[in-house]
Structures are given as C-alpha cells and as structure tokens.
Chains A and B, each alone.
Chain A
Amino acid sequence: MLKIRGACKSFNGVKILDDVSFDAAKGGVLGLAGPSGSGKSTLLRCVQKLETLDEGTIEYDGKTGFMFQDFQLFPHMTIMRNLLYAPSLKDKKKNHEKRARKILKDLGIEAKAEEYPNSLSGGQKQRAALARTLMIDPDLLLCDEPTSGLDVATIEDVILLLKSVNKTGVAMVIASHDLDFLTKISDRIILLKEGRINADVDLLKCNVIHFSNNDPIEYLKQYY
C-alpha cells in the first residue's frame, strides 16, 4: 500500500507539489490527471525516490517499477540485453532468459529481442520498456505519460496491455494528461492542479453520486 502524507516539493522557489496526501489501494490502478505542469511527473518521481520531498512522507512497502515518458531504454544494448542486464546483476546464477522471452512474447515483441531500441517504433519501445521493468518484479508500476506520442490504435493496445499486467497483481499509478485514456484504465483518478489535489474520484463506486450525465470526463474537466 502506498501512503502519501503532506507531500511538498519546490523547484527554484516554486511550489510544484503542495501538501498532497492520499492512500492508494493494493492492486489498484490510480490515474493521476491534471494539466501540463501540475506536478504529475514530480509526484511519480518522488514516489520512485528520483526526487526527495521537501516536506511530508511517502511510504511504500514493496518494490516499484518506473516507466519513463521517453522510455530510456539503453540504446547500446539489444532489447534482450536491456531486459536481462539488471536481473543478471542481482542473481548471476539464475537463467533469466526464459522469463524474458515469455514477457516479450506476452507483450508481442519477441521478434524484436535481438534488435536495438532505435529500430523499434514508439509502441514497441513502450512495450520493451514495460518488459524491462517487469523483469525486476515490481508490485507497483509507476507510468509517466504512457500514451504520449502514440496513435489512437496503439493507445488501445496500451490499455489492454496495462490491464493484463494489472491482472497479475501489479498495482499502478499512471500519470497522464489524457483524461479519456485515464478513465478507461483507472479505477480511481486523482486530479492535480498547481500541485494540489483538485478532485479525487472513485470510478468503481461513485459513478452515480458524482457524475452529472454519468460522464466522468465531463465531471473531471470542471476541475482542470
């Protein structure tokens, strides 16, 4: 379980996160919505400890995996080596290749195993980055703008893919400015604005209560 209390973070005197507090349920998919610059990426990076909070706490009692907006695959390594590199440092004796092949196959890019990242399309890089993160067995996956630069059809694939990963017990926090995408994949959406939580909706439970016309997107847009 992820527990955030009073998280504050400033860059150059500008408050990017301003007293953010929430708990995220085990196994759930939490969407982080909000306009550009609202602090979504910063919050994800704080959870991953790529940034340190100025104030407040973030507690998480499991292993996190991080998906960068621009993937950050290692360009001088084949996809297979991208997947195998970190796990083989942890456990030299174990043969990780079989698992890597299975993950690549599940994600539909097994044919790309021996290719270099730059020969892959955006959607394929996304899958490769997801595969690399899954190799370290995270129980919480942090995804920063997983749909950026992808076309509509590929975004539908990403939704199916992330959902199938979630079914294996991996919880997710997904930052995206794309409300349409977020409402399709999340079971809860927290909307940030200028570093504060501006709306927090449970898409599983509260449909009828919250949404005029039963449309979560219209509802959330009021808080943008």
Chain B
Amino acid sequence: MEKALYNFLFIGRGLAITLQLLAGGFLIGVTIGTALAALRYNKICSPIIKGFVSLVRGTPLLLQLSLIYFSVPTLFGVKLSVLAAGVIAFGINSSAYVSEILRSGIESLPKGQFEAARTLGIPKYYMWKDIILPQAIANVLPALVNELIDLLKETALIATIGGMDVMRRSQVIAAEQFEYFIPLCMAGVYYYVLVLFIESIIRRIEKKKSYA
C-alpha cells in the first residue's frame, strides 16, 4: 500500500513537465495559430501559411519533436532543453491545428461583419483583434478545447526524448518493478482527471457567454 502511494506520487511529480508542456505549447499554439488564421486573408502570406499547415499536418508529431530536439543544435548551434524543445514542437504543431479551427470560425461569420468594420473606418488590425477573432473564437470554443485535450495527450511523446513527464515516470516505475498494469493505470488517472477538469472549466465558460 505504501509502495503504491509512493509510486502514485512519483508519477504525479511528472505533472510539472506535463503541465508546462501543455501550457507553453497551447499558449504558443493559440498565439501563432491566431496570427496565421488572420494572415490567411493576406494575399502574400496565404500560400506560405497553407504550405506550413499542410506540412505540419502531413508529418508525424514525433518526427517534428525529434527534428527540433536533435537537429536544431546541429543546424543552429543552440542546445535546447527537453522542455524547450517540447514547448516549441508542441506549440508549432498546435498552431497549425488552431489556425485551421479558427479559419472555420472566421468563415462562419457573415461577410457583413468585415464590411461593417470597413465602413466604420476601423483599421484592419483592430478589426481582427476586436471584431472578427473574438466572434470566431467563441464560435469554435469546443473545437479549441478538443485541441487542448489532444495536446495534453500528445505531451506524452516527450518521453521519447527523455522528458520526465507523467508518462515517462510511469514507465520508469514499471521497468524498475516489473509491473506494468498499475503504474500505467496511475498515469492514465492523472491524464483523465486533467481532461475532466478542462472540460468542466469550459462548461462553466460556455454558460457565461452573454450573447448569442
């Protein structure tokens, strides 16, 4: 019993890495993804962004993560920590998906919202920031939450480059004690509770939405 508790707490210490990856990755993903979604409406940027999104979606995340962790030091001479490489890789990957999600939210808005902003002389930057994107984000909130939940589960890939996250710690316990079932279930509990927590917060936000 004491050993089980020790194992559970040992795995739980991986939350620090898991949550940092999730928060950092999602922050970057939403920030860059939002910019990409808006810049898709710029004639010059549009083909570049399309290519980027297609590339990111067309290759495995594991490959992207490895590429950043192992190749950036040799290509650019900067040594990345496991955490930094993870945040960058998950952030970039997520930005492609977020930009696609937001684009569908933008496209569901009436063209007249853009036109109304124009007729009122609202500069483009402000039109995107205060008129278009807030509505687009509200439209696709459930899809964005799904992306957050997907990202949470994908952070487990950090184990492949040695990050001591929840997943990796459960594997360590399993390997040490020749017992896989319980430690892996414990890791599962951590992920699942986090997912339930994210879902409950979103339900609360959705209820608060004051218009529509």
Contacts and interface: CB of A to CB of B under 8 A. Distances in A.
Interface of A: 48, 50, 64-66, 68, 70, 72-76, 85-86, 89-90, 116-118, 132-133, 136
Nearest to B138: A76
A41 B18 CA distance: 55
Given A72-B112, A72-B116, A89 B135 contact: no
B162 interface: no
| Closest CB pairs A-B (n = 6) | A72-B116, A86-B120, A72-B112, A66-B119, A116-B211, A86-B122
Nearest to B132: A74
A132 B121 CA distance: 12
B142 to A, nearest CB: 17
A118 B118 contact: no
B121 A76 contact: no
Contact of A72 (B115, B121, B123): B115
B36 to A, nearest CB: 22
A117 B122 CA distance: 19
A116 B131 CA distance: 14
Contact of B131 (A65, A70, A74): A74
6 contacts: A65-B119, A68-B116, A70-B112, A74-B135, A85-B120, A89-B122
B100 to A, nearest CB: 22
Given A68-B112, A85-B130, A89-B126, A75 B119 contact: no
Contact of A70 (B110, B123, B130, B134): B110
Interface string B161-187: 000000000000000000000000000
A42 to B, nearest CB: 13
The number of chain B residues touching the other chain, given as a range, is 20 to 34
Contacts of A65: 119
Interface in B100-135: 110, 112-113, 115-116, 118-123, 126, 130-131, 134-135
B120 A132 contact: yes
A173 to B, nearest CB: 14
Contacts of A48: 119
B211 A118 contact: yes
B212 interface: yes
A60 B140 CA distance: 41
A65 B115 CA distance: 12
A72 B127 CA distance: 14
B106 to A, nearest CB: 14
Contacts of A86: 120-122
Contacts of A90: 121
Nearest to B116: A72
Contacts of A116: 210-211
A16 to B, nearest CB: 17
B123 A89 contact: yes
A50 B113 CA distance: 12
A100 B135 CA distance: 24
B118 to A, nearest CB: 7
Contacts of A75: 135, 211-212
Nearest to A86: B120
Nearest to B110: A72
Nearest to B125: A89
Contact of A50 (B115, B123, B135): B115
Interface string B21-62: 000000000000000000000000000000000000000000
Contacts of A64: 119
Contacts of B135: 74-76
Which of B113, B119, B130, B131 gathers the greatest number of chain A CB atoms within 10 Å? B119
